[in-house]
Chains A and B, each alone.
Chain A
């Protein structure tokens, strides 16, 4: 099982440049997908849109992190993930507001989320999902977020604050769904 670390500990340990990369990878890839001819977009369903965007995300990530020290791409039986240092493993997904991916999870996905041991994946590394949340029309990205799954539950999720003068140096924000009273 993966090590236990709080949201603050995980997010603070990321280099701001890496958070920028997460944000840019998702936003640029989605923007690239939206530049497809309108007639082609019209023939895509949500699944095709997510698959195309994912392909751009994967290529963008590969380009950006090819020479980056401390980041290693891993292919776990077809599941593409990146080992960051020795503490974190991230995968890229389209997610909902809670940080869950919408598609039906494979057995391997469930094991990844549970933190179960997978061949080729360092056991103590914390498994994270870097995902993008789309607007209701799915034409714009509302936010890029990092979430920590634990089985079917999302333990926490943090929105990446895009680098801008208005952000005041704040690079992430806790957006974990609050439990109701009672």
Chain B
């Protein structure tokens, strides 16, 4: 017999951006009653579940999932402070729902890589610079471990997905947060990314999140220090020092735009990197930011690189549709969604596409 999961009630409410009083008024019941259902003090009757499922537009089964929601990752504290409780609740809910989807699909999906996203134990990490973890060194090690050739990273999203991550496109409904990442035992590292952000920012943000996953999984630090380190890591990962140093002999908008075209990283990120590496003077840096403000480029830069789209999640859905014979309705049922919302979250066209021709990889040679 399924048991009602109070966490799922709160999760569904948060996902719809509703507060307790909002939902209580919509049902209508007293907020106290709703609160007791959400905290598990009381078990709601079956007719309540039917009503709330209708209001929140989830199937009844959603509220009986045995999973538990995870909170906000320990970093992004400053960003979290700026977000309203409602926005924060919605984002965390979306993250959890997406994670639950991945967890449900993973057992039937063969993962084709044994690569992984490393995590560094600061106490055991040895670097050339004594007594201090060097993010440049860590970024170089990760590039080496993943056999990334020198030069620009062609596709940051694919790189993460090829190395044990899953990039999940999300709509956070705010531009205060571009991405979040989560490392949970027994699952690939999940990167939730706001796909409405400019493509160069998405790349940098993913590298920043990778920095958190590599540097801050085992030991946490002060939030500002973690953010600075993740940012340094992103710069070093996307723009290796030994390669950009000779390129930054010139420092003007024209050259930065060309560098952006090559590295697929924003001009702003290149300037920050140049500043960190002491390749430009304080005056050059100041003039650059003044010019960027004057031209309105601090909000949106020109020459956005091509957008990178996650494929892993879509591949999973395709595998279920074509490899395992799931219908759209069965997929929605598996993920505890109504078919309409399933269509919004995943590409329903995979169900009408022809099945891929099986390719034989190996054969016996006599």
Contact = CB atoms under 8 A, between A and B. Distances in A.
Chain A complexes with chain B: yes
Interface stretch (B11-19, B113-121, B255-263): B255-263
B291 A44 contact: no
A40 to B, nearest CB: 9
Contacts of B255: 42
B258 A44 contact: yes
Contacts of B291: 136
A38 B258 contact: yes
Contact of A139 (B250, B257, B262): B257
Given A137-B254, A137-B302, A41 B262 contact: yes
A46 B253 CA distance: 11
B262 A137 contact: no
B250 A45 contact: yes
B108 interface: no
B25 to A, nearest CB: 49
Contacts of A137: 253-254, 256-257, 267, 302-303
Quick one: which of B254, B257, B262, B291 has the most chain A CB within 10 A? B254
Contact of A46 (B247, B254, B261, B295): B254
B248 to A, nearest CB: 11
A109 interface: no
A42 B262 contact: yes
Contacts, number: 36
A139 B247 contact: no
A173 interface: no
A137 B252 CA distance: 8
A42 B254 CA distance: 10
B247 A42 contact: yes
A135 interface: yes
A140 interface: yes
For the residues of A in contact with B, the DSSP-based class is loop
A146 B247 CA distance: 36
Interface in B146-191: none
A140 B254 contact: no
Given A138-B254, A139-B303, A42 B259 contact: yes
Contacts of A140: 302
B303 A136 contact: no
Interface string B292-311: 00010000001100000000
A166 interface: no
Interface string A40-57: 011011100100000000
B253 A136 contact: yes
Interface in B261-288: 261-262, 267
A41 B247 CA distance: 12
Contacts of B257: 137-139
Given A136-B291, A139-B303, A41 B261 contact: yes
Contacts of B259: 42
A39 interface: yes
A167 to B, nearest CB: 23
B262 A39 contact: yes
Given A137-B302, A139-B302, A139-B303, A42 B295 contact: no
Contact of A38 (B253, B262, B267): B262
A49 B252 CA distance: 14
Interface in A100-144: 135-140
A49 to B, nearest CB: 8
Nearest to B262: A38
B291 to A, nearest CB: 7
Nearest to B292: A136
A46 B247 CA distance: 15
Quick one: which of A39, A135, A136, A138 has the most chain B CB within 10 A? A136
Interface string A48-89: 010000000000000000000000000000000000000000
Interface string B226-253: 0000000000000000000001001001
A128 B255 CA distance: 30
21 contacts: A38-B258, A38-B261, A39-B262, A41-B258, A41-B261, A42-B247, A42-B258, A42-B259, A42-B261, A42-B262, A44-B258, A45-B250, A46-B254, A49-B254, A136-B253, A136-B295, A137-B254, A137-B256, A138-B257, A139-B257, A139-B261
Interface of B: 247, 250, 253-259, 261-262, 267, 291, 295, 302-303
Given A41-B261, A138-B254, 20 more contacts: A38-B261, A39-B262, A41-B258, A42-B255, A42-B258, A42-B259, A42-B262, A44-B258, A45-B250, A46-B254, A135-B302, A136-B295, A137-B253, A137-B254, A137-B302, A137-B303, A138-B253, A139-B257, A139-B261, A139-B302
Q: Nearest 7 pairs between A and B by C-beta?
A: A137-B257, A38-B262, A138-B254, A38-B261, A41-B258, A42-B258, A137-B253
